[in-house]
Each structure stands twice: as C-alpha cells, then as structure tokens.
C-alpha cells in the first residue's frame, strides 16, 4: 500500500534531479498544449474519439470477428491469446516454426506488459528493441518508466556512459546526435540479421483487416520490410470500425503524445509481402474483465499517448518506476487494480484527484473519477491499512454528530495551543515533518457565530 | 433570498476568519444569511480515502440541515464539488436532489446568482491566484490550461473587482498544490514537494499574497511557508473580496 509513497520519497531525495524530471515532462505537456490548442476543433475531436471508442467497446465482439475475417482474407494469420502466457507461447511458436533466432521489435507496450523479452531470451532467442528509448533501457536492463518515452528518466550523460560500456562509444561523449548515430549503426546489423520482426499496433481497422503503427523512428517499417516474418501484437481494444475513423485518432495521438501534428511514420500493414508471412496476435490479458466493470470499462479507450503521465504532478515528481507496473501514471493507476487489487492497492491513492489527467486525455477517460471509485473498492475489499480504516470509521461518526464534533474540535485546538512542540511534532505526525500545523484560533467560527447571535 | 451558509469543518476550527469574511461579504451584498448551527462536514475526508460508506451519516446530516434553503453557499469549491458529485450513493430523495443542485461555491453564487459587477473593497498587494483543482476542473469555475477553450476564471473575474489589487499569473497557471486531503499525509514527500514548487512559482513572480477558493490548499501552502519562514502570505479569496488586509 505504501509502496508508491516510499519510492516517491526516495526519488525526491535527489531534489535537483526531481526538478529536472518534472521540467522535462512539463516541457512535453506544454508542447502538447500548443499543438492541441492550435487547432480549433480539438475539443470536438476528443468528443468524437470518445464516442467512436464507446461504440467500439459496446460492439467489440462483432468488430473483432469482422477484423479477423478481413485480415484472413488478406492472407494474414490471426491468433487469439487469452493471457500473457498464451501470447508469448504463440509468438515463440511462430519463431520456432521459422527457426528464427533473432528478433527485432518496435513500438510495443503490449509485449512489455506480457514480459515477452524474458520469455524468449530464456528460450535462446535474441530480442532487440529497436526504438532508441527502448534500446537504452534494454541495454540498461531496466523496465520502461514511460509508455512513449521509456528512457525519460535517464540523462544524456548516463546514456553516454551506458553506450560507452555496451556499444563502445567514446568515453564521456553525451552528444545526442553522436549517440543516436552509434545506436543506429549498431541496430543496422540487428535489422539485417533478423529472422522476424514484431511491432505493436496503434489501431486495427475492422473494415479492412489492416493494422496501423505510428512511429517516429521508422523502425517498425525497417523491421517488417527486412525480416521474412512479421508479427503484430495487439490488445483487443485497439479496434476502430472504419478506416475513415483513423484521421480523428492520428491527429489526437501525436499532438497528445509529443506535441507533433502527426508522427513521422504512420505505417499501414494489410498483407504479407511476397514470400513472407504476416501474423496478428490478438490479446485479452484481463481486458474483457475490465470491460465487464461498468465504472472502469472506458479505461479501455486509452490510445497510450502518455499525456496523462506528462501532466500528472505526481508522476513528474516520482518517476515511472515508482508505480511498479509497465504502464505507470494515472492510466496505470486505474488499470492495475483490475489486474491485482491487493498488489496495486496503493496506486489509486497516489493522486490528489486534481483531474488534470482527465482533461488532457484525448479520448476523455474520466481517470480521476475512476481513481476515486477504485479507492472505494479497495477499502471495501479490506486492502486499506487497519489504522487508516479505523480512523475513517471514527471520523465518520464524529463528523455526523455535532456535539462530538464540537467537543473534539475544541480539544484539538486546545491541545495544539498548549502542548509542547514534541507532543505535536513527532514521527506520528506525517503532516508536520515538513509543514507547520495551522495556528489554532481561540474560537471556532461556530462559537463566534453563536456569540454574535446572542449580542 | 434565503441563503444557507456552509462553513467546512477545517475552516470552522482553524480559519474562522474565512467564515467571517464570507458571512460579512454576503451580508454587505444584501443577502439574508443563515448559518444553521450543528453543521459539521460534507464527508469528503472519508470518501476520498475510499470510505464513502463511513461518510453516509455525515451526508444525511448535511442534507437534513441544508435542504430547505434556496441556495447553500460555501467558501470551498472542493466541498461544493463533493456534495454535487459524490452524494450519489445515498437514496436520491427530493431533498438530496435539491441540495445537490443548490450547493454553490462562493464565486458561483456571487457571479451567477447575485450577478455582482463591482465590490467595495481594497487590497493593494501583488496577488497570485492559486486555482484549486476541484473548483477549477470539478466545478469548472474556469477553464483549465488542458482544454482548448477560451480562458476564463470566476475567481479572477471577482479579484479584478477589487481596488488596488495587482494580479500576477504564475508560470504554471493551474498546477495542483499537492494537498489532496489525506494524500498530504499518505504521500508527505511528494505533497510537500508540490507545495514548495507552487510557492516558488509565485515567489518568482513577486507575489506577496497567494489566494485561492479553497482554504485547504492554502493551509498546506501556509504550513510550508511558515516552516520555511518565508515572507509570502496566504489569504482566502473571501477575505480579499471582503477587504481584509494581511
Ligand atoms: S489515459 Fe488518455 S491521456 Fe493517458 S495514455 Fe491513455 S489516452 Fe493518453
């Protein structure tokens, strides 16, 4: 329960680094503001996207079947995976069949979610994440800290050091251009040697059976075009009914994610290339369970833009790793309780309910409302610490009985006025560690008012 | 017009001057204000901690005290937001429905109901407005910086009616202060860091007094300001609109 608080406190101990992290993400949020506010119909686009997704979620079964049929007609092999384990098994099976020992990957949070890399590496497959940020954290053996900028927690000097160690770049070099070029050269060999390429999927179009991947580095294309086998892994919620809906989402996605009008590449894959094979793996992994929870189903509208992370004042000051899940930040905090309520019971409390996330969200997910709702469920299922649970029971009693409330209020103020400082400020007082308590007035408003009424 | 005044628990106990300023201001503007005695709390502290069931008794108590008024006014966007949005777990009787419609933050009451256009108050200081989140994004007392809509703010509109005031906007116009109710004690490190950052933003703009529509945000900021012995002050917007000097 206290895990996020502890990790956040550790993160903040290095205050200048916290400030740097906060500023870096605030910069992205500001770019997003500029890009989105510069088109007049932004709020209508959000509403439209939200409605399209409502339709998708209400008719998901039908759209998925339509998608599958159309993809098969295009010569694509479609697989269904109930959970992460099955997804990994399917991918491994495809690789086995083709004796592919080297795999390149691009743009897939889903494979992160399924821990595909570990699964394959254990079975002797070389897995290379080809997007720069992903490659950095893969070399560093760390999980991503952000869904769009997975290495945002690292400074360029640290990347320089890492590359010096792993890719033998010059010691002390930290020029991003130089480092990017080094990564590119190193990845080129990997691309050429790859027996298969995996990409994630931003959108899957039911009407055409095609999938769409939005990238800035072009690695999805590079992998898919060079390797004989291409595999696209998608969650069931990635469906859009028609190709004509795509424009709404590509406009929203890039602006929300990085403040760009559009991602550099918007790649459409419809059928295998001549002599090649194309597979699509459709994954549930807890999504239908979430779909069945009325208050939380619209969390499945998420297009993984990351904007809610960039705007979250807590994420910016605690870093993605403090959440302990592949998808951190506000959206992670409403997805995780559905996966393991007990384990992630602290995350819905890692928020002030300020609501900024819901207002940046391009598909209008009511994130902060869902955080509030998860809190209720966590308490009801008994995952609050006992002292907290008890104190709330008492607070509830006192605050519904005016006589008790008045007496306790008076006593509290009296104690705050009279008690020596160590009684008030000690390790039990979390408020008072770095803050003063309010200066207690002699009389409450209620007392003042009663006097005024008498005179 | 019969106006019921709701003074949230922490204002009642720790910041009576904010309640007094609210009452005086409303009376100056010609309202007949009743403060029903026996009031306690809207129930938000329990509910935001996940224990809304424990808040139900407080909800009923609140409804029983206030349902007869045409308007219930409170100097707290956060409490008004809570009643309007989260009193959905009790039976929606006529009384409950009525109160959920009629609870207003002070700024809403002044601008939307009383249609105030000028105020008789003076506050010759450099003031920075802290946009409390529940008022801003919950009650939509203005447009948050996230949405691509025309900028507006009820609090700002009201402050501009005060004579001598110099309003300064912080570089991040509506970032959360980090209070968040029990968040402040569940995650003290991050809560305080957020507060420090807000204060620094206002200080960098030369602000002398930070104001807000919610005293809870200011209680948190003031706690940090006093611990760090800073010069900057806090004042609830009701005090400034009523002309209370720092
Ligand atoms: S919840 Fe909304 S803002 Fe957050 S990543 Fe998903 S789409 Fe983007």
Extents of the domains making up chain A: 39-285, 294-380, 387-454
Query: What's the gap in Å between A25 CA and the centre of ligand 1?
Result: 15
Name the closest-CA residue to atom 3, ligand 1: A361
Q: What is the pLDDT of residue B175?
A: 98
Residue A316 Cα, gap to closest chain B Cα (Å): 10
Query: Is the shortest distance between the CB of A305 and ligand 1 below 6 Å?
Result: yes
Q: Is residue B139 part of a domain?
A: yes
Question: Pick from A430, A445, A449: which is nearest to B185 by CB?
Answer: A430
Residues B236 and B158 in one domain: yes
The domain boundary, picked from B57, B80, B113, lies at: B113
Single out the residue of A74, A69, A70, A67 nearest to residue A278, CA to CA.
A74
- Chain A residues within an 8 Å CB radius of B10: 438
Q: Is residue B106 part of a domain?
A: yes
Please count the CA atoms within 13 angstroms of the CA of B231 that sit on its side-chain side.
Answer: 6
Query: What's the gap in Å between A303 CA and the centre of ligand 1?
Result: 6
Provide the 8-state DSSP code for B135. Answer: I
- Pocket probe for ligand 1: among A57, A150, A307, the residue whose CB has the most ligand atoms within 8 Å is A307
Query: Is the shortest distance between the CB of A100 and ligand 1 below 6 Å?
Result: no
B137/A356 Cβ within 8 A: yes
Q: What is the pLDDT of residue A396?
A: 92
Q: Which 340-359 residues of chain A touch chain B by CB within 8 A?
A: 348-356, 358-359
Residue pair B128/B175 in contact (Cβ under 8 Å)? The answer is no
Which strands form A229-235's sheet, in the order they lie side by side? A77-81, A277-283, A229-235, A196-199, A102-106, A126-129
Task: Give the tens place of pLDDT for each residue, B31-66.
Answer: 999 999 999 999 999 999 999 999 999 999 999 999
And the tokens for A97?
Answer: 């069949």
Q: Is residue B120 part of a domain?
A: no
For A227-382, where are the alpha helices, taking DSSP H only?
A: 246-258, 287-291, 307-311, 313-318, 329-339, 356-360, 367-380
Q: What is the pLDDT of residue A382?
A: 94
Could you give phi then psi for residue B72, rounded to 5 degrees? -110, 120
Q: How far apart are CA A79 and CA A88, in angstroms?
A: 11
Q: What is the pLDDT of residue A420?
A: 87
Give all strands (DSSP E) within A107-178, no chain letters.
Answer: 126-129
Q: How far apart are CA B200 and CA B208, in angstroms?
A: 12
Residue pair A316/A114 in contact (Cβ under 8 Å)? The answer is no
Q: How far apart are CA A11 and CA A321, in angstroms?
A: 9
- Pocket probe for ligand 1: among A214, A316, A362, A371, the residue whose CB has the most ligand atoms within 8 Å is A362
- Chain B residues within an 8 Å CB radius of A448: 16, 19-20
From the first residue on, what is the mean pLDDT of each consecutive set of 10 residues in chain A (455 residues)? Answer: 89 97 98 96 98 98 98 98 98 97 92 95 96 95 95 96 95 94 93 96 98 95 96 98 97 97 96 96 97 97 98 98 95 96 96 98 98 97 91 92 92 90 88 95 95 89
Residue pair A257/A307 in contact (Cβ under 8 Å)? The answer is yes
Residues B145 and B235 in one domain: yes
A370–B contact, CB cutoff 8 A: no
Cα angle A293, A298, A301 (rounded to 5 degrees) comes to 135
Name the closest-CA residue to atom 6, ligand 1: A302
Residues B151 and B84 in one domain: no
Q: What is the pLDDT of residue B246?
A: 81
Structural domains counted in chain B: 2
SS3 of residue B102 by DSSP: helix
Q: What is the pLDDT of residue A387?
A: 87
Question: Pick from B61, B181, B186: which is nearest to A400 by CB?
Answer: B61
Q: Is residue B119 part of a domain?
A: no
- Chain A residues within an 8 Å CB radius of B181: 352-353
And the tokens for A341?
Answer: 């309520």
- Chain B residues within an 8 Å CB radius of A378: 50
- Pocket probe for ligand 1: among A52, A300, A302, the residue whose CB has the most ligand atoms within 8 Å is A302
Q: What is the pLDDT of residue A455?
A: 83
Residue B111 Cα, gap to closest chain A Cα (Å): 24
Q: Is residue B246 part of a domain?
A: no
Using left for φ > 0, alpha for ψ between -120 and 50, and beta otherwise, residue A22 falls in: alpha
Query: Is the shortest distance between the CB of A308 and ligand 1 below 6 Å?
Result: yes
Q: Residue B150 sits in a domain of what CATH number?
A: 3.40.50
Query: What's the gap in Å between B138 CA and the centre of ligand 1?
Result: 19
Which residue positions in chain B have pLDDT lower than 50? none
Query: What's the gap in Å between A410 CA and the centre of ligand 1?
Result: 46
A435–B contact, CB cutoff 8 A: yes
Tell the burial category of A129 from Cβ atoms under 10 Å away from its Cβ (0-12, 13-18, 19+): buried
Which of B144, B146, B173, B223 has the most A C-beta neighbours within 10 Å, making it the best mutation to test the interface with A?
B146
- Please give the span between the terminal C-alpha atoms of chain A, in angstroms, as a whole number: 52
CA dihedral B132, B217, A394, A424 (to 10 degrees): 170
SS3 of residue A23 by DSSP: helix
Q: How far apart are CA A326 and CA A333, in angstroms?
A: 11
Tell the burial category of A335 from Cβ atoms under 10 Å away from its Cβ (0-12, 13-18, 19+): buried
Single out the residue of A293, A281, A294 nearest to residue A236, CA to CA.
A281
Q: How far apart are CA A402 and CA A392, in angstroms?
A: 17
Residues B67 and B154 in one domain: no
CATH code for residues A39-285? 3.40.50.10420
Residues B172 and B209 in one domain: yes
Q: Which 1-60 residues of chain B touch chain A by CB within 8 A?
A: 7, 9-20, 23, 35, 37-41, 43, 45-58, 60
Name the closest-CA residue to atom 8, ligand 1: A305
Which strands form A265-269's sheet, in the order they lie side by side? A239-240, A203-205, A210-215, A265-269
A438/B51 Cβ within 8 A: no
| A-B contacts (CB, under 8 Å) | 227
Question: Pick from B7, B189, B219: which is nearest to A438 by CB?
Answer: B219
B13/A444 Cβ within 8 A: yes
B79: domain range? 2-113
CA dihedral A329, A333, A336, A337 (to 10 degrees): 170
Cα angle A96, A221, A215 (rounded to 5 degrees) comes to 115
ipTM value, please give it. 0.96
Residues B108 and B159 in one domain: no
Q: What is the pLDDT of residue A15?
A: 97
Residues B100 and B130 in one domain: no
Residues B47 and B147 in one domain: no
Strand-pair category, B209-212 with B233-236: parallel
How far is C-alpha B196 from the chain's CA centre?
Answer: 20
Q: What is the pLDDT of residue A108?
A: 85
Which of B49, B83, B229 has the most A C-beta neighbours within 10 Å, making it the best mutation to test the interface with A?
B49
Could you give phi then psi for residue A154, rounded to 5 degrees? -105, 140
Q: What percent of chain A has pLDDT over 90?
A: 94
Q: What is the pLDDT of residue A1?
A: 60
């Amino acid at each position: 329960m206290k895990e996020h608080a502890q990790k956040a406190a550790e993160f903040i101990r290095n205050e200048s680094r916290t400030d740097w992290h906060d500023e870096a993400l605030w910069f992205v949020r500001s770019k997003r503001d500029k890009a989105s506010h510069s088109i007049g119909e932004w709020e209508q686009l959000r509403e439209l996207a939200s409605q399209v997704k409502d339709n998708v979620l209400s008719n998901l079964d039908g759209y998925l079947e339509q998608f599958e049929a159309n993809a098969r007609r295009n010569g694509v092999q479609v697989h269904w995976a109930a959970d992460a384990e099955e997804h990994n098994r399917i991918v491994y099976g495809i690789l086995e069949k083709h004796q592919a020992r080297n795999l390149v990957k691009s743009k897939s949070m889903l494979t992160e979610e399924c821990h595909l890399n570990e699964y394959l590496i254990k079975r002797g497959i070389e897995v290379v994440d080809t997007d720069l940020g992903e490659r950095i954290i893969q070399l560093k053996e760390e999980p991503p800290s952000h869904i769009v900028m997975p290495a945002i927690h690292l400074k360029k000097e640290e990347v320089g050091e890492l590359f010096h160690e792993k890719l033998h770049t010059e010691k002390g070099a930290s020029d991003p251009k130089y480092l990017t070029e080094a990564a590119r050269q190193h990845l080129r060999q990997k691309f050429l040697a790859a027996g298969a390429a995996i990409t994630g999927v931003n959108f899957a179009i039911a009407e055409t059976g095609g999938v769409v991947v939005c990238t800035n580095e072009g690695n999805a294309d590079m992998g898919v075009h060079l390797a004989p086998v291409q595999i696209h892994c998608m969650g069931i919620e990635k469906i859009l009914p028609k190709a004509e809906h795509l424009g709404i989402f590509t406009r929203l996605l890039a602006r929300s994610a990085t403040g760009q009008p559009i991602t550099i590449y918007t790649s459409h894959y419809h059928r295998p290339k001549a002599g090649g094979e194309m597979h699509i793996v459709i994954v549930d992994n807890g999504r239908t369970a979430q779909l069945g929870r009325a208050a939380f189903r619209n969390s499945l509208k998420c297009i993984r833009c990351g904007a809610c992370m960039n705007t979250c004042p807590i994420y910016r000051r605690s870093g993605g790793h403090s959440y302990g899940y592949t998808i951190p930040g506000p959206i992670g905090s409403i997805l995780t309780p559905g996966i393991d309520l007990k384990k992630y019971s602290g995350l819905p409390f890692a928020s002030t309910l300020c609501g900024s996330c819901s207002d940046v969200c391009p598909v209008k997910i009511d994130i902060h409302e869902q955080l509030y709702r998860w809190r209720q469920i966590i308490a009801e299922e008994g995952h609050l610490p006992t002292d907290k649970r008890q104190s709330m029971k008492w607070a509830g009693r006192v605050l519904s009985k005016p006589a008790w409330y008045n007496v306790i209020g008076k006593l509290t103020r009296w104690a705050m006025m009279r008690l020596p400082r160590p009684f008030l400020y000690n390790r039990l007082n979390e408020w008072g560690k770095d803050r003063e308590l309010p200066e207690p007035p002699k009389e409450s408003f209620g007392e003042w008012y009663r006097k005024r009424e008498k005179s | 017009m019969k106006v019921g005044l709701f003074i949230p628990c922490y204002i009642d106990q720790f910041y009576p001057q904010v309640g007094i300023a609210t009452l005086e201001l409303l009376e100056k503007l010609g309202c007949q204000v009743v403060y029903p005695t026996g009031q306690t709390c809207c129930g938000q502290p329990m509910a935001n901690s996940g224990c809304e069931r424990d808040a139900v008794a407080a909800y009923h108590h609140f409804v029983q005290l206030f349902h007869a008024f045409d308007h219930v006014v409170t100097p707290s966007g956060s409490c008004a937001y809570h009643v309007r949005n989260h009193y959905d777990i009790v039976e929606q009787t006529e009384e409950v429905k009525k109160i959920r419609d009629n609870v207003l933050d002070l700024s809403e009451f002044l601008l939307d109901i009383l249609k105030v256009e000028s105020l008789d108050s003076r506050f010759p200081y450099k003031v920075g407005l802290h946009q409390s989140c529940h008022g801003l994004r919950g009650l939509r007392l203005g447009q948050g910086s996230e949405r691509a809509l025309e900028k507006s703010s009820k609090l700002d509109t009201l402050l501009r009616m005060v004579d001598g005031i110099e309003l300064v906007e912080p570089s991040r116009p509506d970032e959360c202060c980090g209070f968040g109710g029990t968040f402040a004690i569940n995650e003290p490190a991050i809560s305080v860091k957020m507060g420090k950052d807000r204060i620094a933003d206002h200080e960098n703009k030369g602000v002398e007094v930070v104001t807000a529509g919610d005293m809870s945000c200011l209680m948190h900021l003031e706690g940090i300001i006093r611990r760090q012995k800073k010069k900057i002050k806090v004042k609830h917007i009701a005090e400034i609109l009523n002309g209370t000097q720092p």
